[in-house]
Amino acid sequence: MNKLFVTGLLIFSALNVIGQTKNQIKFTAKIANRNSDTLVIKGNDNFTQVIPINKKETFVASFDAPKGFYVFSDGTESSRLYLKPNSEVNLTMNAKEFDETIVYKGKGVEESNFLAQQALRNEKLEEAFSKEPAEFAVILEAKNKTDKESLEKGSFDPEFVTAMKENFERFNKFAIRNYESAAKANKFTGKPSPGFDYENFKGGKTKLSDLKGKYVYIDLWATWCAPCR
């Protein structure tokens, strides 16, 4: 999943859990070309469910969890899902085409399938970041219309619908800000960087000029990214 839109997906407060009543969830996953032998589902209030693969090469678990938004990760990539009381979630996917192949079957999985499809629409929007402002605005508006129509046509949990409508608004603002930032950054492509300094891990100061002629490893990750920790 593209990191830019992982951010957009999760400013959404995807880990906000709606309601506090715990109910059992039956979860199974069959993953082709898996990245690991363990899946981790994370939610609000430090909720963590670790699911190891069994001898049949299937991830199987039953656990209690409040209704709401969660994120599952295979240690390499992640995706959102929505769990409801007494759901029976059967996930299939190919880890080499992570987002593109996610399919949920079973009981109470309509919302999770919606989230999987929306993630693809969010990723596709990045292609519009190279467009002129007017064209970008048209593409973004078309995406917003598709998102809203898809939500209205589905038979979803009312609390999910309310949360998604709020998410659409937040994501729209986020996309506009990122488009504007990208447009400004593109003006500096190929030009010398201005000098700057920053506080290093030892508490001292490091200047850009101090790194001249040296190999530099840069590792960027977000505080909300559970698999990155």
- CA 26, CA 16: separation in Å to the nearest integer? 21
Report the percentage of the chain scoring pLDDT > 70: 87
Q: Domain segments of the chain: what residues?
A: 3-183
Buried b / exposed e over 62-83, threshold 16 CB at 10 Å, is ebebbbbbbbbbbeeebbbbbb
Q: Helix, strand, or coil here: 78?
A: strand
Q: What is the mean pLDDT of residues 175-194?
A: 85
Q: Write out pLDDT tens, residues 16-50.
A: 545 444 578 999 999 999 999 999 999 998 999 99
pLDDT at res. 188: 80
Q: Write out pLDDT tens, residues 82-107.
A: 999 899 999 999 999 999 999 999 99
56 dihedral zone (left: phi>0; alpha: psi -120 to 50; beta):
alpha
Mean residue pLDDT of the chain comes to: 87
| Cβ pair 43, 198 in contact under 8 A | no
* Predicted confidence band of residue 163 (pLDDT cuts 50, 70, 90): very high
